[in-house]
Structure 1
Amino acid sequence: MSKEISAANVEKFAQDFDQSPKSNAIANTVAQNGILASSRNIASDVAMTPNFSVEIQTGAVANQKQSGRCWMFAALNTMRHPLQDQFNLKGFELSQNYTNFWDKFEKSNFFYENVIATANLPLGDRKVDFLLATPQQDGGQWDMLCALIEKYGLVPKSIMPETYNSSRSMELNSTLNTKLRKDAIELRQQVAAGKSEDEINATKTQMLNEVYRLLVFTLGKPPVKFDWEYTDDDKQYHIEKDLTPQSFFKKFVGWNLEDYLSLINSPTEDKPYNHLYTVDLLGNVVGGRQVRHLNLKIEDFKALAIKQLQAGETVWFGSDVGKSSDRKEGIMDTNVYQREDLLDIDLSMSKAERLDHGESLMTHAMVLTGVDLVNGKPTKWKVENSWGEKAGNFKGYFIMSDAWFDEYVYQVVINRKYLTPEQQQVEDAEHDNPTVLKPWDPMGALAL
């Protein structure tokens, strides 16, 4: 039975507040400065110094600006790092707008296909509502970028630079999502009317033609063949002629993307460790690479990230960047704010409890470029962000405590060769039949 708050309750609460001699002083500082500034812990600045026993020099950070393409920037950063050294191009970037174009184009088709597949479900069904809530968006996953590269290749940023709409994506996303929802109405109506598969596909093809036109208007036309001119850091001029996006990727990046696997640390009961998972309705390229996550214990998870860094290779990772994070200072540390001490309340939850109860989920992807090991154990990590050089006090790089890694890092991408034979065996055995998670699972949230 529900029970209202009584006047006696309120009076007792007021008395409890007045009995603490610190209450007024705390109320004054919090009211004037806010919770975070009032609870800021200076000791965190001392602990998070930018010194690392294992460090990969990666140059200036990129800037995703007012867009949600962190996953794309982070992934392309890991690919450009070795390329910069190999070709003596410290300021080089791969085109994030090129992959952005094809991502939005493929996501539109992915949406249409899922609308058709769920057309017999009623409006109000949770899966239908999930699709219509966000037909497409800037977010994504490592495997989704791999699917794009495998189909479309890559180009240098100079060949397809940023536009107003790639850097400030709100107008494009709003317009494209309005179109996709409008198209969903027609596709559902055609299915309900019993139209043939060929008729529905013809309608969808025309819709995709309009999407392509919208994307060219806003993002530019993707190149099919191009010449790449560049001057290296020694002032030497180079030109590469008659490249295609696929030949550029093969010649200048040359990764076997199948070697790179997504690992997660999700200590929830619905995801036993040492098993492979995917997320329903998560993807972009129809018929392309499936999103897969191998769930590992945090100790194994971190050990693989360290192993890859020690081998000189940076690590893509997904996290909940807004938690215990000081963006102005560039520090991510569980002790950066002391809210519980300030407010005299208990806010503690386990990592699993935060995931299960909506308190945390993956919100941002970045790159690990260093780790500080003391007696073989990590104490802090160097992080390459994609918010430009003005974010934080370290020219766009962030410092992350190992405790923060434990609590708020959920995903890393690791080369298969660093996995143990047992971990490789799990990935091989379950590769074609991963456990399917619900579309709204927090392990898919980075794509929303």
Structure 2
Amino acid sequence: MASIDINNLNSWDKEFKTDLSHQLASTVLKNDDANTILLNRSRLLEQDLRVFNTAISTPGAPVTNQRSSGRCWLFAATNQLRINVAAELNLKEFELSQAYLFFYDKLEKANYFLDQIIDTHEEEIGSRLVDYLLTDPTSDGGQYSMLLNLVKKYGLLPKDLYNDLPFSTTSSRTWNGLLKTKLREFAEELRNELSQGKDVTKLRAELQKEIFRLMSLFMDFPRFKPDEEFTWSYEDKDGKVHTLKTTPLEFASKYAKLDTKKPVSLINDPRHPYGKLIEIERLGNVLGGDKVIYLNVDNKVLADLVVKRLKNNKTIFFGSHTPKFMDRKFGIMDVQLWNLPAIKYDLKQEKASRIRYGESLMTHAMLITGAHIDENTQQPVRYRVENSWGKDSGKDGMYVMTQEYFEEYCFQIVVDIDELPKELAAKFTSKVENPILLPIWDPMGALAQ
């Protein structure tokens, strides 16, 4: 056992006080924020290049803002789909309702939680699984497969017909906290009943009703059923006014052009073999919905698929460890943007080790809308990224991401299955391919917020 020795501390202090480079760094860092002081301005100027030779023809508008909520995955997905709506209806600007999906996601997650509590009632309180389930049962965050589950069941709406509410959707922490508190109470009720061998069918129905009542205090129940016709009037970019009659489900398929059978998720997780499916156990939102399954591939495959989609005028939903090495003011995502070696702060862990030791995971979802391809190597060197933090973040909401950042801190992209090479597409359709099962608390099960 090696306890702290005050004599060692005194000796080390004297040593560092004779090191002029250490004293210079110490003086500077004690007088201002480290992110400001260590920002490498020369590197920033080198990477602040807003020219991309491969990009989608018409970026979405307006710049979106998820504000103080963890809805990035819903914003990234709807920012992607709105481009199809705008093209179909000749719109200058358009947003899909993120709040509509947010309402049903909260409702479904709460119900999913009840099901998980019932299914694990024989597990001890204090077990890692039960503790994890109780940690954040209605997190704002999500995965792309969860988005597909919602759209399959509820469709999509224009934002005009179901807009954000202050403090409910744009700042969700307080009411989400109230909902979590009740769900933990409900978990105890269910476990107590089940421990006595009682049927909890009636109790669960009562709890579902109470969850809906609580949610309706903070958000309005959408007035259109998924298969119920709504009427929406809009003005196109030529100034002509139109009236559209459709349903949320039809709006998703016909106008947003989302074929929910096509999107698949690919990740780069160097802890596991490439070419293998990875499934996250117990992670989901809609009971009976799609499981969270990825195909693990190397960074070259990810980058090639990104470029392929861009050349076909399609954006790419991706998940990264944000805001790691991201400057929000200048809109740069670059591993070398801060001069950490100047203070002898050298980062030695590789990506696999960072995942294993809790240093790296997917935390945020955005869109790739462009790339710059090196003419000699034909490989991407940087990407144009559309974020959902408003116009004051980055340059009018847009960021530049270097290829190095993409390889080190990007974890997931979503593409259509028919865009994959045949041997990779077959992994998703094979009846004999057994996925690697990872527990719900694994970093690859992190929810983008």
Residues 52 and 420 from structure 1, CA distance in 2 versus in 1: closer, same or farther, beyond 3 angstroms? same
> After superposition, what is the alpha-carbon deviation per residue over 1:67-101, rounded to whole angstroms, capped at 9, x for unaligned?
00001110111111122122221320110011001
Give matches, 1:418-433, under 5 Å.
Answer: 418-429=419-430, 433=434
> After superposition, what is the alpha-carbon deviation per residue over 1:270-327, rounded to whole angstroms, capped at 9, x for unaligned?
x211111111121000001111100001111111111111110000000001211111
1:181 matched to 2:187? The reply is no
The whole-number CA distance in structure 2 between the counterparts of 1:310 and 1:431 is 33
Check the 8 A contact 2:253/2:259 in 1, yes or no: no
Give matches, 1:120-131, under 5 Å.
Answer: 120-131=122-133
The whole-number CA distance in structure 2 between the counterparts of 1:22 and 1:194 is 69
Partner of 2:134: 132
Partner of 1:82: 84
Structure 1 residue 255, shift from structure 2 partner: 2.0
SS in structure 1 of the partner of residue 255 of structure 2: helix
Range with greater deviation from structure 2 (79-88 or 177-186): 79-88
**Quick one: which amino acid aligns to residue 258 of structure 1?**
K
The whole-number CA distance in structure 2 between the counterparts of 1:299 and 1:113 is 40
What's the TM-score once normalised by structure 1's chain length? 0.95
Task: Calculate percent identity across the aligned residue pairs.
Answer: 37
Partner of 1:22: 21
Structure 1 residue 175, shift from structure 2 partner: 1.0
Partner of 2:414: 413
SS in structure 1 of the partner of residue 156 of structure 2: coil
1:212 matched to 2:215? The reply is no
Partner of 1:195: 198
1:257 matched to 2:263? The reply is no
**Quick one: which amino acid aligns to residue 17 of structure 2?**
D
Structure 1 residue 244, shift from structure 2 partner: 2.0
**Unmatched 5+ stretches in structure 2:** none
**Quick one: which amino acid aligns to residue 40 of structure 2?**
N
> Which of 170, 178, 200 lines up with 1:167 in the alignment?
170
The whole-number CA distance in structure 2 between the counterparts of 1:192 and 1:23 is 61
Give matches, 1:235-254, under 5 Å.
Answer: 235-241=239-245, 243-254=246-257
Partner of 1:440: 441
1:317 matched to 2:318? The reply is yes
> Which of 370, 380, 389 lines up with 2:382 in the alignment?
380
> Which of 229, 233, 240 lines up with 2:233 in the alignment?
229
SS in structure 1 of the partner of residue 358 of structure 2: coil
> After superposition, what is the alpha-carbon deviation per residue over 1:95-121, rounded to whole angstroms, capped at 9, x for unaligned?
001100110111011000000001111
Partner of 1:50: 50
Structure 1 residue 250, shift from structure 2 partner: 2.4
> After superposition, what is the alpha-carbon deviation per residue over 1:381-418, rounded to whole angstroms, capped at 9, x for unaligned?
000000011112x1001111111001000000011122
Check the 8 A contact 1:48/1:380 in 2, yes or no: no
SS in structure 2 of the partner of residue 86 of structure 1: helix
Check the 8 A contact 1:276/1:430 in 2, yes or no: no
> After superposition, what is the alpha-carbon deviation per residue over 1:120-164, rounded to whole angstroms, capped at 9, x for unaligned?
111111100001111111000000000010011111101111112
The whole-number CA distance in structure 2 between the counterparts of 1:323 and 1:95 is 29
> Which of 386, 391, 394 lines up with 1:389 in the alignment?
391
SS in structure 2 of the partner of residue 312 of structure 1: coil
**Quick one: which amino acid aligns to residue 122 of structure 1?**
E
**Quick one: which amino acid aligns to residue 346 of structure 1?**
D
Partner of 1:273: 274
Check the 8 A contact 1:370/1:383 in 2, yes or no: yes
The whole-number CA distance in structure 2 between the counterparts of 1:26 and 1:435 is 46
**Quick one: which amino acid aligns to residue 28 of structure 1?**
T
SS in structure 1 of the partner of residue 169 of structure 2: helix
**Quick one: which amino acid aligns to residue 269 of structure 2?**
S
Check the 8 A contact 1:162/1:219 in 2, yes or no: no
Structure 1 residue 5, shift from structure 2 partner: 2.5
Partner of 2:104: 102
Partner of 2:295: 294
Structure 1 residue 348, shift from structure 2 partner: 2.2
SS in structure 2 of the partner of residue 229 of structure 1: strand
The whole-number CA distance in structure 1 between the counterparts of 2:129 and 2:173 is 25
> Which of 90, 111, 127 lines up with 2:113 in the alignment?
111
Structure 1 residue 430, shift from structure 2 partner: 5.7
State the number of aligned residues.
Answer: 439
Structure 1 residue 432, shift from structure 2 partner: 7.7
